[in-house]
Amino acid sequence: MTRRTTAKTLLAAVVATAFSAFTPAFAWEPTKTVEFIVPAGTGGGADQMARLVQSIIAKHNLMKQNMVVVNKGGGAGAEGFLEVKGAKGDPHKIIITLSNLFTTPMATGVPFNWKDLTPVRMLALDQFVLWVNKENPAKTAKEYIELVKKAGDGKMKMGGTGSKQEDQIITVALQKQTGAKFTYIPYKGGGEVATQLVGKHVDSSVNNPIEAVAQWRAGNLRPLCVFDNERMPYKNKVAGDMSWNDIPTCKEAGVDTDYVMLRGIFMAGGVSPDQVKYYVDLLEKVRQTPEWKKFMEDGAFNQTAITGKEYADWVAKAEKLHEGLMQEAGFMAKK
Amino acid sequence: MQEIQSLMGGFAVAMSWFNLALMLAGVSLGVLIGVLPGLGGANGVAILLPLTFTMSQQPGGATSAIILLSCIYWGALFGGAITSILFNIPGEPWSVATTFDGYPLAQKGRAGAALTAAFTSSFIGALVAVILITFISPIIARFALRFGPPEFFSVYLLTFSAFVGMAKGAPFKTIAAMMTGFALAAVGIDTVTGQLRLTFEIPALLKGFDFLIAVIGLFGIGEILLTIEEGLEFKGAKAKLNMRVVLETWKELPRYWKTSIRSSAVGCLMGIVPGGATPASFMSYGLAKRMSRDGEEFGTGKVEGVVAPETAAHAAGTSALLPMLTLGVPGSPTAAVLLGGLLIWGLQPGPLLFVEKADFVWGLIASMYLGNIVGLIVVLTCVPLFASILRIPFAIIAPVILVICAIGAYTVHNSMFDVWLMLVFGVLGYVFKKLDYPMAPLVLALVLGDRAEDSFRQSMLGSQGDMGIFFANPLVGTITSAALLLLFWPLISRAIAIARGRNGRGG
Amino acid sequence: MEEGKSVASMRAAELVMAGVFLAFGALVMWDSKRLGSAWADDGPQAGYFPFYIGLFIVVASAANIFRALNLGEKGRAAFVEWGQLKMVLSVMLPTCVYVALIANPWFSLGIYLASALFIAYFMWRLGKYGPAKIVPVALGVVVFFFLMFEIWFKVPLPKGPIEAALGFN
């Protein structure tokens, strides 16, 4: 009896192994460690998201192979993008993007384009909020812009992360829309910008929600408007009796400007549809976990998450948009 | 004293067997990470972040997770000194200044003393910083807020002034070496304009020259080549190998109390601001050399020359967690990763963390005390073991060191190009030594150049080109004046001497 | 050749080194000019500091060249003797081969195998050890690093055919 059971189990195991050996014919799976490349340094927004994805995958055993996060932030991310561009056909490398997917090649002339990569899926869109110090007399975006205009061109300082990247692009778009003129001061990281604003070394910032939320809750900063075409959906009270949802859009506030940043995943060029599908599904599983949902709410992300052709079209449109903004601002690299 | 009460609560959280075991594991891993050049504290913590994710989701688990990660950080702070002293290879950027006197000490057969001094000073630096964090963190956080670009620039200038003027030898060689450091620091993307500088369209140059690559090559490989030229053996093989060396060194250490106090102060300031542990160690070494009675003999193997940078580095590394917790601004690359960790675990670092997650914060602070004690015990008991590495014959240890250097250079950016670069720096280090080009100004310029230039240009953007901004308020004015005074001290002191001489003759 | 014979004089070495610095400084200045090296309304341009840094390097190197030419007796001293150079090369060349073997476009061994071979060669050639000592040291070190990086820390280092055969890739 015992022997037969053992034999049966053994048989079952053999059959299972045989089947699992065949599975690659049905669906592709990674056969070695997957490198998750972050085209930015450790500790930034993209890095956090990548490490969260890695942690969730490890915790819930969503993938048989390991995933490692590799930071390649040199040259405003060019290092990372060039690496993936050079890994044509390699299905074991994925990369998370910031807006530097568009801005870096335009501003530096480093030869790469998102078309060198295979779009996998959008994970979320990162929001930008116009922040001022709590002691700033302006209570609305409109009032603040009036203050900037009254102070004179270049007298008020806008702090942001990096140069010729998303924060400066928003600043330029805001200037174009309203006619106010800021002096833009680039810093190395978002947390640094928020602190500089609290310390009144700059007059305003366009920090992501997650970069400034702690200072908002502590009553040191005031959000004026969000650069999106609709309000953030999160209605839980965050700071005092304010929720993310209570922040008006910039359009409502009378300074019609919008900008969201892509947090999307790409693979190298020349990979098969099977391989893309694997990662699309994997990341969908990640999106369904409670940890991911909590992170989205903490950071007040826009949870749009499209795939396939819809995603590629979105990226193409975003590229056009950036090209226009960069050209107008005179940020394009000289040929 | 409300703080004491909170701290006791923190000890109650941190003192579980599980947490103590985590501390031991974290510190040991950290020492290992610190010893290996390249795989620094930041990388080490980042690598283990996913491991702690599951842990952090349990009730009270976030405290355990941060204890594990921060103890890796303490371990790395301790461990960086080991290879600096034994082989002239700084395991971490902040232990470069430790090589200046630590390595000569080891060559004299006093590796045990150098290691003991380094570990003990690290501990003292950390202790001072933790006490500061425990009792006056709100005040410190407010102070840190006063630092804008002009203030940062003046601090970098101060670091630089404290250190230059020390180099002996041909002034033109010093200038050439130092300026080369600045030039290498400029390679890559320019923060202020987003332009690529000195990259010549070579992809491998996009990421710039990493300080660690240069240091592993210049110091480590260069030293091996020099040693080989002299014959195949390391000096200092006759290091004492028992625990008595620890006690003997402890007897000597109280003599340097002034240096310890000064270095702790420098370290805490640089950690809080945050200027970073590496500049802190250089500044502290420079000040000690100027102010100590034995200053002239620094660089030949003085225990005091180990005490100064190690105290400051550890004080800065520890106090760097304060702006991270209270402001959400990382004071060091490792703190940046820890900050990311907090966010991933669903905590929000910032002014409210102390109120909303008091358990977590005070547990962490208590673990800083405990973790550093655990760390000190671990590394001190290993002093004879570390020192005995020098007894291994050269033909065995040299290839192992070269392998470690290669792996270290690779892991900094996962790049083979960096490994080749390290070899080039190695040859450069060898030639530098033989031709009397000083290396310290080069590495200091490499580590500070970029940041100093950024903060200078940020200041200029803000003031629209007005240099007056460096004297615009008492804080920045004081630091700038102190920096200029230090920088021109040789000239000033000569002028004073001449004036006195004249008076003497006149009277 | 004689062991104690000078390969290069101090003067020659000083001149070469200063020449390298001079060229480097000129290169830095040239690239900075391209970026714009003026002081604009809102402070220095991207190339401002590098330009003057380059200038400083050029001037200092010129001064060093001048000094090297006037070294006199000291300049004739040996920078490196033949015996010394032979020792240095006996380490430097294998190290270069080692790094080349880790990863190259044609024939990569991966870092672990290359390290084992390098340690073994070094011990055999310079330490005159026998296999009884070489094998445990070379293998032990490499296995330790393998466990540490690939298993514990999950830091991928360059790998080659052996790791692939073992299923690690």
How large is the average pLDDT for residues B23-48?
85
φ, ψ for residue A60, nearest 5 deg: -95, 10
What are the backbone angles phi and psi of residue B363, rounded to the nearest 5°?
-60, -45
For B498, residues 6+ apart whose C-beta sits below 8 A from its C-beta are none
DSSP B1: -
CB–CB of B461 and A295 under 8 A? Answer: no
pLDDT of residue A95: 97
Which residue from B298, B311, B338 is spatially nearest to B322, judged by alpha carbons? B338
Asked if C25 and C52 count as a contact pair (C-beta separation under 8 A), the reply is no
Query: Burial level of A243, CB count in 10 A (0-12/13-18/19+)?
Result: middle
pLDDT at A13 over 70: no
Per residue in B104-154, pLDDT (tens digit) is 999 888 999 999 999 999 999 999 999 999 998 888 888 889 999 999 999
Instruction: Provide the β-strand partners of residue A124.
Output: A263
The helix (H) or strand (E) run that includes residue A80 is helix A78-86
The answer to whether residue B301 scores a pLDDT higher than 90 is: yes
pLDDT for res B507? 38
Query: Is the CB of C169 less than 8 angstroms away from the CB of A66?
Result: no
Chain C partners (3+ C-beta pairs within 8 A) = A, B
List Cα–Cα distances, A110 to A118, A156, C83, in angstroms: 19, 33, 47
Q: SS3 of B332, please?
A: coil
- The top-scoring range by mean pLDDT among B33-37, B78-82, B260-264 is B260-264
- Which chain A residues have a beta carbon less than 8 Å from that of C155? 68
Q: Tell me, what's the pLDDT at C72? A: 82
Among A72-81, B214-223, C38-47, C121-130, the least confident range: C38-47
- CB contact under 8 Å between A183 and C42, yes or no, is yes
Give me the count of residues in chain B.
507
Q: List the structure tokens of B24.
A: 């031991």
In this predicted structure, the answer to whether residue A249 has a pLDDT above a threshold of 90 is yes
**Domain A34-126+261-329, CATH:** 3.40.190.150
The pLDDT of residue A27: 84
Domain-wise residue ranges, chain A: 34-126+261-329, 129-246
Q: Report domain extents, chain C.
A: 6-81, 103-166
Counted across chains A and B, CB pairs separated by less than 8 A come out at 168
pLDDT digits (tens, 9 = 90+) for C2-49: 677 888 899 999 999 999 999 999 999 999 998 888 888 777 889 999
Distances (CA, A) of B146 to B134, B150, B157, B274: 21, 10, 17, 11
Q: Taking all residues of chain A, what is their mean pLDDT, rounded to a whole number?
A: 89
Render pLDDT for B378-403 as a digit per residue (tens, 0 to 9).
999 999 888 888 888 888 989 999 99
Residue B54 has a pLDDT of 80
Q: Which chains does chain A touch, 3 or more C-beta pairs < 8 A?
A: B, C
Q: To 10 degrees, what angle do helices B61-87 and B17-35 make?
A: 30
Nearest residue of B to residue C83, measured between CA atoms: B229
Averaged pLDDT of chain B:
88
Q: What integer pLDDT is reported at residue C19 of this predicted model?
A: 96
Q: What is the pLDDT of residue A189?
A: 83
The verdict on a CB contact (< 8 Å) between B461 and C43 is yes
Q: Give the integer Cα–Cα distance in Å for C156 and C169.
A: 9
pLDDT of A143 above 90: yes
Dihedral (Cα; A20, A23, A27, A29), 10-degree rounding: 40
Nearest residue in chain A measured CA to CA from C151: A66
A·C CB contacts under 8 A: 12
How far apart are the C-alpha atoms of A181 and B267, rounded to whole Å?
40
Mean pLDDT along residues B241-254: 88
Average pLDDT over residues B331-346: 83
Q: Which of A293, B457, B491, A214 is nearest to C43 (CA)?
A: B457
**Helices and strands: H and E segment counts in chain A:** 11, 12
DSSP code at position A190: H
**For the segment A148-171, what is each residue's pLDDT rounded down to a tens digit?**
999 999 999 999 999 999 999 999
Residues of chain C falling short of pLDDT 50: none
pLDDT of residue A32: 85
Q: What's the angle, vertex CA C76, arms to CA C71 and CA C77, rounded to 5?
A: 105
Residue B241: the pLDDT is 66
Q: Which of B402, B413, B459, B467 to mutate to test the interface with C (most CBs of C within 10 A)?
A: B402
| Domains held by chain B: number | 1
B400-426: average pLDDT: 92
B162: which 2 tokens? Answer: 């404290």
Residue B255 has what DSSP assignment? G
Q: Which fold has domain A129-246?
A: D-Maltodextrin-Binding Protein; domain 2 (3.40.190)
Rounded average pLDDT over B399-423: 92
**Is any Cβ of chain C less than 8 angstroms from the Cβ of B410?**
yes
Contacts of C169 in chain A (CB under 8 A): 31-33
Tell me the pTM.
Answer: 0.89
Average pLDDT of the segment spanning B328-353:
83
pLDDT one-digit tens code per residue, A35-57: 999 998 877 788 889 999 999 99
pLDDT of residue B411: 87
C-alpha dist (Å) from residue A280 to A308, B72, B327, C85: 9, 35, 37, 58
Q: What pLDDT was estimated at residue A241?
A: 92
Q: Say if CB B106 and CB B113 are below 8 A apart.
A: no
Which chain B residues are closer than 8 Å to C28 by Cβ? Answer: 183, 186, 198
> Cβ contact (<8 Å) for B464 and A59?
no
More confident site: C43 or B468: B468
The nearest CA of chain A is from the CA of C10 a distance in Å of 39
Give Cα C144 distance to the centre of its chain.
26
The per-residue pLDDT for B234 is 60
Q: Per mean pLDDT, which range of A48-57, B14-23, B54-63 is the poorest?
A: B54-63
> Looking at CA atoms only, how far is residue B438 from chain C in angstroms?
13
Look up residue B113 and give its two tokens: 């003393």
Confidence of residue A20 (pLDDT cuts 50, 70, 90): very low
Give the residue from chain C lying closest to B229, CA to CA. Answer: C84
Query: How far is it, in rounded angstroms, from Cα A58 to Cα A54?
Result: 6
ipTM exceeding 0.90?
Answer: yes
Cβ-based neighbours of B207, under 8 Å, separated by 6 or more? A72, A73, A74, A75, A79, B188, B413, B415
DSSP letter string, A292-333: HHHHHHHTT-B----BHHHHHHHHHHHHHHHHHHHHHHT-SP
β-strands A182-187, A156-161 pairing: parallel
CB contact under 8 A, C169 and A32: yes
Give CA A304 to chain center in angstroms: 12
Residue B202 structural domain? 2-506
Distance CA B348, CA B340 (A): 10
Looking at the predicted structure, is the pLDDT value of residue A1 above 50? Answer: no
Q: Name which of B36, B233, B400 to mutate to probe chain C: the one with the most chain C Cβ atoms within 10 A of its Cβ.
A: B400
Lowest mean pLDDT among B5-19, B147-161, B331-345: B331-345
When pLDDT is averaged across residues B12-18 and rounded to a whole number, the result is 88
How do residues A182-222 score in pLDDT, each as one tens digit? 999 999 888 889 999 999 999 999 999 988 998 999 899 99
pLDDT (average), residues A3-24: 48
Section A19-33 average pLDDT: 68
> Given this model, what pLDDT does residue A22 score?
46
Percent of chain B with pLDDT over 70: 96
Q: Spell out which residues of chain B touch residue C80, defining contact as CB-CB under 8 Å.
A: 229, 434
Q: pLDDT tens digits for B363-379? A: 899 999 999 999 999 99
